Amino acid sequence: ELGLATLAQARGIVFGTTLTRGQVEESGEMRRIAAADAAMIVPGLELKWAGHRPSPEGFDFQDADFMLRFAEERGQAVRGHALVWHEALPPWFARAPRDAAGMRALLERHIRTVAGRYAGRMQSWDVVNEPVEPWDRRADGLRDTPFLRALGPGYIDLAFHLAREADPAARLVLNEYGLELATPEQEARRVAVLALLRGMVRRGVPVQALGIQAHLGAAARGFEPSVLRDFIRAVAGLGLEVYVTELDVTDRGLPPDVAARDAAVARSYRAFLDAALAEPALRLVTLWGISDRYTWMNDSRFARREDGLPVRAHPYDDSFGRKPAWYAIAEAF
């Protein structure tokens, strides 16, 4: 039977999943399904600041190197996630300089060192993750982060220019969540993301793709295929590619019955992928988890179930059996 990446490839889509060193070392089953289904690996923790900057002076690339070697030995491509993000920062970041010159030096050193180290080996980099937050009530819709406070909105352009200098080959991606539903909240986020991207393209900033995280909810209302497709087309109209970077579907809000949850989760994968894949700008799909055994969602107050049952969000269950979600993704391709 063909794996998901092979099916995706037949449609011209690169397919993969996030994975961590801990999972690889702990579970032969994870190694097996990652090899069977993924043509691309996204290190889940190892390329975040908290994953390789134990001190302001020091970098520790052991875990990130491990993940790149793991993928490359299997002929899998790698995406880097993420050069700039307001989360997963190490504890020392709270005491780092907040003045413009100090923050600029910190970002320069970070991006030059990290993107430079892996130059030529990354298919793409999430250069800035989650830069938009309409509820922070700025006119430009940008998220109020330490980077923005120190450097102003220009920190985003700066990060992309630094990434391009350090790695001339990687596709450079702006990655964002909450873009797929036809709700007023998500419409506001789409508007802000489009305005940001339009400005970047106009200024000649080297951005090549928008990453749509796509953390979906099987009980969430407001998915309208035409809204997602129109948005993807608008991004494509700026000359950019579109990636689905962190696809998963929480079953939060659904009653406990397992068969019904699995069916609803599978339907959500299918409906989302059918809409996204109909747009030629869509080039890549990576999951944010492939087995329920290793899911970030039980630790997220937005994604975990309120009844305390573990989520069934991914294509394989917690003993690595294929669920309806696996078949839904296969059929979508």
Catalytic residues, by residue number, are 246
Cβ closest to ligand XIL, residue 82 vs residue 170: 82
Q: Tell me, what DSSP letter sits at residue 297?
A: G
Cβ closest to ligand XIL, residue 218 vs residue 330: 218
Write down the number of H helices and E strands in the chain.
12, 9
Sign of CA dihedral 206, 278, 181, 48: negative
Q: Which residue has the tokens 């100090």?
A: 102
Return the residue of 44, 80, 315, 324 that touches ligand XIL, per CB under 6 A: 44
User: Count of residues binding ligand XIL (CB under 6 A)?
Assistant: 8
- Kindly write out the interface string for residues 103-132 of this chain, putting x where it contacts ligand XIL by CB under 6 A and - elsewhere: --------------------------x---
Which of 288, 285, 323 has its CA nearest to residue 11?
285
Q: Is 246 in the site for ligand XIL (CB under 6 A)?
A: yes
- Smallest distance from ligand XIL to CB 260, Å: 26
Q: Is 296 in the site for ligand XIL (CB under 6 A)?
A: yes
Q: Is 49 in the site for ligand XIL (CB under 6 A)?
A: no
Distance CA 213, CA 170 (A): 19
Cβ closest to ligand XIL, residue 73 vs residue 299: 299
Q: Is 51 in the site for ligand XIL (CB under 6 A)?
A: no
User: Which pairs from 53-59 meet CB under 8 Å and 24+ separation?
Assistant: 53/90, 53/110, 54/90, 55/90, 55/92, 56/92, 56/96, 56/106, 59/113, 59/114
289: left (phi over 0), alpha (psi -120 to 50) or beta: left
- The encoded tokens of residue 279 equal 């747009």
Cβ closest to ligand XIL, residue 273 vs residue 297: 297
| Residues within window 166-185 making contact with ligand XIL, judged by CB under 6 A | none
Q: Is 37 in the site for ligand XIL (CB under 6 A)?
A: no
Which residues of the shown chain bind ligand XIL in the complex (CB under 6 A)?
44-45, 129, 213, 246, 288, 296, 299
